[in-house]
Amino acid sequence: MQERLVDRHPEVPADQLVAQMVPPPMFDEVSFASYIPAPEEPSQAAAVRKAEEFAGQVAKIHKAGSRKSLFGKKKAVSGAGLYLDGGFGVGKTHLLASIFHSAPAPKSFGTFGELTNLVGALGFVNAVERLSGNSLLCIDEFELDDPGDTTMVSRLLTELSAAGVSIAATSNTLPSQLGEGRFAAQDFLREIKKLGAIFEPVRVDGPDYRHRDLPPAPEPTSPEVLTERAATTPGSTLDDYDALLKHLSTLHPSKYGALIDGVSSVFISGVHPVTDQAVALRIVVLADRLYDAGVPVTVSGAKLDEIFSTEMLDGGYRKKYLRAISRLLALSRFEAAAA
């Protein structure tokens, strides 16, 4: 019988949320040396140098913070901050993972959403306590979606930085522009400026490598072929699009990674554009987890670059939706090539 994601109901203990904060499998082996800057984009080579320098700084700060004074207390050393700003697919996550691999343990790596989920699961005080011993906290796809996140993240990172934790982040938005288009950001300027003061911003320019010299979105597979291919692909799942979206609404986003654990390939029938923001944001999280795990995606119905309506792409979450499309297209091309 064909397995379905909607039949899975994963449970992730809070303690496991901390242990699993490491780079996605596709970034297990990356390094500064394996990042190949585009010759026509000098900011990329400069970003590599900055990231390497920052990694060295992290080790020095952690070592200094571990030393004790004459009175037996640890010396107060503030952490450093690096903020890699740039478009989709320019290698920011590659550099962030390289920084992570270079830093001494303990250290944590996660997306912005995973970090906020961690705080929600553990509670603020417990999360600070568990992360304050780190040499480094890496935050991928840093973004502020609502006022609550702004206040909470500002306080969290301020306390961690004061405790000697260095913080590296990637984003498509400069620190001073976080929250624009999503809520009344001007009401939270003090918090946003506090966040900006933690980081040294570094620009990484260039086109999305996932789209370089690649054809447009693959045509959707017919329903019959989709079912046949799912049945002949070991470890795959086959789900109806609407049923899957409904199932996602019953799970906390922190469980989406566990939802696809062990899945070799995802097949989805009846894909169509969505117009509900809450539904769309769940798709974004699922797309991130699928991309992190390198799980190929094949669909019938609408093309993957049409899953978000024009109105949604023109709204405040445009960057999130474009990132999700970019990642899903990369996964669908991977499946198409394998086929």
DSSP for 134-171, written as a single string: -SEEEEES----SHHHHHHHHHHHHHHHHTT-EEEEEE
Q: How far is the C-alpha of 186 from the C-alpha of 171, rounded, in Å?
A: 20
Tell me if 47 sits within 8 A of 316, measured CB to CB: no
What DSSP state is assigned to residue 74? B
Whole-structure pTM value: 0.73
pLDDT at 260: 96
Q: How far is the C-alpha of 32 from the C-alpha of 38, rounded, in Å?
A: 14
Cβ-based burial of 298 (10 A; exposed 0-12, middle 13-18, buried ≥19)? buried
Both tokens of 117, joined, read 């989920």
The owner of tokens 């800057």 is: 37
Q: How far is the C-alpha of 67 from the C-alpha of 164, rounded, in Å?
A: 12
Tell me if 157 sits within 8 A of 124, measured CB to CB: no
Q: How far is the C-alpha of 172 from the C-alpha of 207, rounded, in Å?
A: 13
H-run or E-run covering 338: helix 318-338
Nearest to 23 by CA among 92, 122, 84: 92
Q: What tens-digit pLDDT sequence spans the chain (339 residues)?
A: 899 999 999 988 777 888 889 998 889 999 999 999 989 999 999 999 999 999 999 999 998 876 554 445 555 688 999 988 887 778 899 999 999 999 999 999 998 888 888 888 788 999 999 999 999 999 998 876 556 676 788 889 999 999 999 999 888 654 445 444 443 444 444 565 666 678 888 888 887 665 554 456 778 899 999 999 999 999 999 999 999 999 999 998 888 989 999 999 999 999 999 999 999 999 999 999 999 889 999 999 999 989 998 888 888 778 788 889 988 998 998 665 555
What DSSP state is assigned to residue 146? S
